Amino acid sequence: GGQYSVWLAQALQAAGRTKEAVGLLQTCESHPDSDVRKISESVLYVLRAPELKLGEENFVRIDFASEGPPSEWGRWKPKPRDPDDEPPEMYSLEWYVEEFEKRQALGQPAEREGAAAETALVLLGAVGVLAALSLAL
pLDDT tens digits along 36-86: 899 999 999 998 899 889 998 999 887 776 667 766 666 667 777 776 778
Q: Please choose, from the candidates 74, 69, 101, 107, the residue with its C-alpha nearest in 3D space to the C-alpha of residue 88.
A: 101
The residue type of 63 is D
Predicted confidence at residue 111, as pLDDT, reads 58
What distance in Å separates the CA atoms of residue 41 and residue 31, rounded to the nearest whole number? 11
Q: Please choose, from the candidates 77, 74, 96, the residue with its C-alpha nearest in 3D space to the C-alpha of residue 87.
A: 96
> What is the rounded average pLDDT for all residues in the chain?
82
Torsion, Cα 89 91 92 98, to 10 degrees, reads: 80
Indicate whether this model's pTM tops 0.75. no
What is the arithmetic mean of pLDDT over 88-115?
79
Give the contacts of 8 (CB within 8 A, at least 6 positions apart): 24
